[in-house]
Amino acid sequence: MKRECFAGALASVLLTIPLAVDAQQAAKVWRIGWLGLDSSMQATRIVAFESGLRDLGYVEGKNIVIERRWAEGRFDRLPELASELVAAHVDVIVTASPPGVRAARQASSTIPIVMIAHEPVRMGFIDSLATPGGNITGIAFQDTELSEKRLDLFRQTIPGLSKLAILWNGVEGTDPKSLQSVEDAAKAIGLQVLSVEVREPQDFAKAIAAAKSWGAQGIVEMASPFITKNRKIFLDLLKANRLPATCEMRLYVAEGCLMTYSGNLDAMFRREAYFVDRILKGANPGDLAVEQPREFEFVINLKTAQELGLTLSPTLRLQATEVVP
């Protein structure tokens, strides 16, 4: 009788252990650090990220807290903001620019970092896409593949394109090897290339003037937080000089750039939630393979095309995922 009572009591205890563990996990409130470069530029991106989290069962105020830090375009503030997130004891840091990744990495070598970045292997953020190592994982753009497709579409849009200027920023943004990959891809299809660098806002006018004087028929804008921050200057100069350009992302096209071919950023920010979920469930970021974009967008600004006197062929329109009126 005593043996039966003991067995019954033991079974009851064993059954309650998983319930207690589940209750503890359910009660856990995770802290996610968001290290953003510019709130006006990335406002819709954090919405996409939060949507991805909700799909995985994370609700702010219930089981997660998002500590938001915005540099508002000031790269020099990123290290300070990253340190603030570390001091806030966040469980993971999410960021989406090379300067942001660099600042988060310098602030902590142990807190997991989920990134979106161009060529993170070449920038030294990770060991490889398959096995990133360290405390960083996420999504990576591979510039060579993007450049080849972007140039092919640009050449279809600009009849007789033979001379191409490449606008880049070497201080914070454009990786020199990424620049080289675009130059090589352009030369491989018979285009002459002129690279023009901008380091200060006043350099845009000089760069566009140099491109125009050289005889450039179009411009490729290389991904750069600096150029994005100063994009109004750049886009106004393009319009004044009647120069078509293929730009880094849809944001530029909505504001007047002729076209873009790029990874779908909203989709990538939603996908960042997957990495956060895996990490919060115990995965080591260094063991989570870095992914490449799964969705791409080819966007054309119809009004800009008309102002430039360009006729978009039916074939080109069919390839576009969106035509901005």
HSE-up of 271 (CA within 13 Å, CB side)?
A: 19
Specify whether 124 is located in the same domain as 271: yes
Residue 2: inside a domain, yes or no? Answer: no
Specify whether 13 is located in the same domain as 43: yes
Residue 131: inside a domain, yes or no? Answer: yes
Q: Is the pLDDT of residue 11 over 60?
A: no
Residue 3: inside a domain, yes or no? Answer: no
Residue 128: inside a domain, yes or no? Answer: yes
Specify whether 92 is located in the same domain as 226: no
Per-residue model confidence as pLDDT tens digits over 160-178 = 999 999 999 877 666 677 7
Specify whether 285 is located in the same domain as 155: no
Specify whether 198 is located in the same domain as 229: yes
pLDDT at 175: 67
Q: Does 43 or 104 have the greater pLDDT score? A: 104
pLDDT at 174: 66
Q: Does 303 or 170 have the greater pLDDT score? A: 303
Nearest CA among 150, 127, 310 for reference residue 220: 150
Domain residues for 286? 8-141+265-294
Percent of the chain residues topping a pLDDT of 70: 90
Specify whether 49 is located in the same domain as 160: no
**pLDDT, the chain, mean:** 89
Token code pair at residue 216: 């450039």
Q: Is the pLDDT of residue 146 over 90?
A: no
Q: Does 275 or 179 have the greater pLDDT score? A: 275
Per-residue model confidence as pLDDT tens digits over 187-200 = 989 999 999 999 99
Task: Please classify residue 19 by burial: count the beta carbons closer than 10 Å to its beta carbon, then call 0-12 exposed, 13-18 middle and 19+ buried.
Answer: exposed
pLDDT at 23: 47
**Torsion sign over Cα 248, 253, 254, 256:** positive
Q: What does pTM read for this prediction? A: 0.84
Residue at 89: amino acid letter: H
Total domain count for the chain? 2
Residue 282: inside a domain, yes or no? Answer: yes
DSSP state of 223: P
Average pLDDT, stretch 304-316? 94
Specify whether 303 is located in the same domain as 181: yes
Specify whether 115 is located in the same domain as 24: yes
Residue 130: inside a domain, yes or no? Answer: yes
Specify whether 78 is located in the same domain as 91: yes
Geometric angle at alpha carbon 265, from 133 and 86, rounded to 5°: 45
Q: Is the pLDDT of residue 20 over 50?
A: no
Per-residue model confidence as pLDDT tens digits over 69-87 = 999 888 899 999 999 999 9
SS3 at position 110: coil
Average pLDDT, stretch 19-32? 66
Specify whether 126 is located in the same domain as 211: no
Q: Does 98 or 8 have the greater pLDDT score? A: 98
pLDDT band of residue 98 (cuts 50, 70, 90) is: confident
Specify whether 123 is located in the same domain as 169: no
Residue 273: inside a domain, yes or no? Answer: yes
Specify whether 305 is located in the same domain as 274: no
Per-residue model confidence as pLDDT tens digits over 244-269 = 999 988 999 999 999 999 999 999 99
Q: What is the CATH number of the domain that holds 60?
A: 3.40.50.2300
Residue 21: inside a domain, yes or no? Answer: yes
pLDDT at 173: 60
